[in-house]
């Protein structure tokens, strides 16, 4: 019997503020099945260096980390993949909505007509020096009649499409691709990190009914909006859980590493009477002896709560200013490493007045259980996108000066419907 299985191996790279992760994933495509099955073949993970709020700040330090995680992942997989799909959270990611129109010269809609609409959307999105990261269709109108999902082959004189694009500043993307090039790797595609996280943390049904996904990272907090199954908006706030760590370190006068440990083990947003009496010990920064100090979980909650409230307030402001949020329903899904902070779902539900849950992505087979969970949501989303290989994505094309350098070697991902 002929082998009806087709295997494809690809690399993933998520360079975050707190951690950098590389993965080698095998996608098994079986004839007759719509979705491939994924298996993690190798993983590399190290603490990030030279990155702040998703932006590259020290090329040499970041290079040593990226080289290390790629080497770990490829050795574990026993294969060198060379090319990696990268997540992008830097560059002031923002959404652009527009409507593109074209005359249907042949009398029925063809692929050329659809391509003209997408090209018009790209040109509009890339104004003012911005670089296109993502482009997807929200819906079509045929001769003024809306609600059309797939106009291909329909008789028409005039075709229009509502488009959603995600753009970023050019310089941070250039720096990111310079970094990858120095590691002797190539970039197979760029994916907006909020989109990747949301795909992993939300369900298809939630995206169809409308959902807001909030990814609480170390250096940034990102937002992804979905309505009618389509990606409709995104935003990134340069404040994250690392700022909570700084607040703890400053208030308790303890080293940052100890503050991170305290946040992970004892951090809470809940109000419990027992917290007044439950204490923990910690060292004071700069003291040479082994003396330890004590404080209560209630005091720790008082330190954490104002920062979380500030982040929630910033998220709420961005949602109010984003017109797409009106169509994203009332459901909120939290993901990212900081989403595991005790009491955060209840706190967020009170702040937003909405139903809130923590989104745990489906674990990749082969992933250690200790690493599974919201902290790797972006990586899980990258795996889904790279395996699917369609293109609600686009990397800058050859007509801009940016593409004369590294972005020009990235290529273009086919753009298709959700």
**278: domain CATH number?**
3.30.420.40
Q: Beta strand 37-47 with 51-52: parallel, antiparallel or unpaired? A: unpaired
- Contact status, residue 98 vs residue 237, Cβ threshold 8 Å: no
Q: Are residues 240 and 304 in the same domain?
A: yes
pTM: 0.88
* pLDDT value for 416: 39
* pLDDT value for 401: 33
CA distance 61 to 83: 21
Sign of CA dihedral 402, 406, 409, 410: negative
Q: Are residues 115 and 222 in the same domain?
A: no
Range of the domain at 117: 94-167
In a domain, 40, yes or no: no
CATH of residue 126: 3.30.1490.110
Under the phi-then-psi rule, with left for phi > 0, alpha for psi from -120 to 50, and beta for the rest, what region is 85? beta
In a domain, 190, yes or no: no
In a domain, 230, yes or no: yes
In a domain, 103, yes or no: yes
Which among 119, 141, 167 is the end of a domain? 167
Tokens standing for residue 82: 């060379």
In a domain, 6, yes or no: no
Determine whether 146 is exposed, middle or buried from the number of CB atoms within 10 Å of its CB (0-12, 13-18, 19+): exposed
* pLDDT value for 5: 66
* pLDDT value for 388: 78
In a domain, 183, yes or no: no
In a domain, 414, yes or no: no
Q: Are residues 104 and 215 in the same domain?
A: no
* pLDDT value for 415: 38
Q: What are phi and psi for residue 202, nearest 5 degrees?
A: -110, 160
Tokens standing for residue 334: 């939290």
- Contact status, residue 67 vs residue 5, Cβ threshold 8 Å: no
Q: Are residues 209 and 330 in the same domain?
A: yes
Q: Are residues 222 and 343 in the same domain?
A: yes
CA distance 305 to 150: 47
In a domain, 194, yes or no: no
Q: Are residues 217 and 329 in the same domain?
A: yes
Measured distance between the N- and C-terminal CA atoms of the chain, rounded to whole angstroms:
34
Our count of domains for the chain comes to: 2
- Contact status, residue 191 vs residue 134, Cβ threshold 8 Å: yes
Which among 122, 147, 167 is the end of a domain? 167
* pLDDT value for 358: 95
Low-confidence ranges of the chain (pLDDT < 70): 1-5, 31-34, 288-290, 366, 368-371, 389-418
Q: CB-side exposure of 377: number of CA atoms within 13 Å?
A: 32
* pLDDT value for 4: 59
Which among 167, 189, 222 is the end of a domain? 167
pLDDT tens digits for 365-402?
767 666 678 988 999 999 989 887 654 444 433 333 33
* pLDDT value for 410: 39
Q: Are residues 120 and 213 in the same domain?
A: no
Q: Are residues 260 and 135 in the same domain?
A: no
Q: Are residues 343 and 238 in the same domain?
A: yes
Q: Are residues 160 and 219 in the same domain?
A: no
């Amino acid at each position: 019997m002929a082998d009806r299985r087709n295997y494809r191996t690809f690399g993933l790279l998520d360079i975050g503020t707190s951690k950098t992760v590389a993965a080698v994933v095998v996608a098994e495509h079986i004839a007759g099945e719509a979705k491939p099955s994924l298996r993690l073949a190798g993983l590399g993970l190290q603490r990030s260096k030279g990155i702040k709020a998703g932006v590259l700040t020290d090329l040499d330090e970041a290079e040593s980390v990226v080289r290390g995680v790629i080497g770990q992942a490829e050795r574990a997989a026993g294969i060198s993949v060379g090319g990696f799909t990268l997540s992008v959270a830097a560059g002031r990611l923002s959404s652009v909505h527009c409507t593109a129109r074209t005359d249907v010269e042949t009398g029925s809609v063809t692929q050329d007509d659809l391509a003209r609409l997408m090209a018009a959307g790209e040109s509009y999105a890339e104004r003012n020096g911005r670089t296109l990261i993502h482009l997807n269709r929200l819906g079509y109108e045929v001769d003024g009649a809306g609600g059309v999902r797939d106009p291909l082959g329909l008789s028409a004189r005039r075709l229009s499409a509502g488009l959603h694009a995600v753009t970023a500043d050019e310089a941070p993307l250039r720096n990111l691709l310079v970094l990858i090039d120095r590691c002797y790797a190539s970039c197979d595609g760029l994916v907006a990190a909020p989109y990747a996280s949301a795909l992993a943390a939300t369900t298809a049904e939630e995206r169809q009914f409308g959902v807001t996904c909030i990814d609480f990272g170390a250096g940034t907090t990102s937002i992804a909006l979905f309505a009618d199954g389509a990606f409709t908006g995104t935003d990134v706030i340069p404040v994250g859980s690392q700022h909570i760590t700084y607040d703890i370190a400053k208030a308790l006068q303890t080293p940052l590493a100890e503050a991170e440990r305290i946040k992970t083990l004892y951090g809470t947003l809940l109000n419990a009477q027992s917290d007044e009496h439950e204490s923990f010990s910690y060292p004071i920064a700069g003291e040479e002896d082994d003396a330890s100090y004590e404080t209560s979980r209630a005091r720790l909650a008082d330190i954490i709560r104002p920062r979380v409230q500030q982040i929630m307030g910033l998220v709420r402001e961005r949602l109010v200013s984003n017109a797409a949020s009106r169509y994203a329903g009332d459901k909120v899904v939290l993901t990212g490493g900081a989403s595991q902070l005790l009491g955060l779902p209840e706190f967020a539900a009170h702040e937003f007045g909405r139903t809130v849950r923590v989104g745990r992505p489906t674990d990749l087979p082969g992933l250690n259980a200790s690493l599974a969970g919201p902290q790797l949501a972006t990586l899980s989303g990258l795996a889904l996108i790279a395996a699917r290989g369609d293109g609600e994505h686009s990397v800058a094309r050859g007509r801009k000066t940016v593409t004369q350098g590294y972005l020009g070697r990235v290529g273009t991902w086919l753009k298709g419907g959700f």
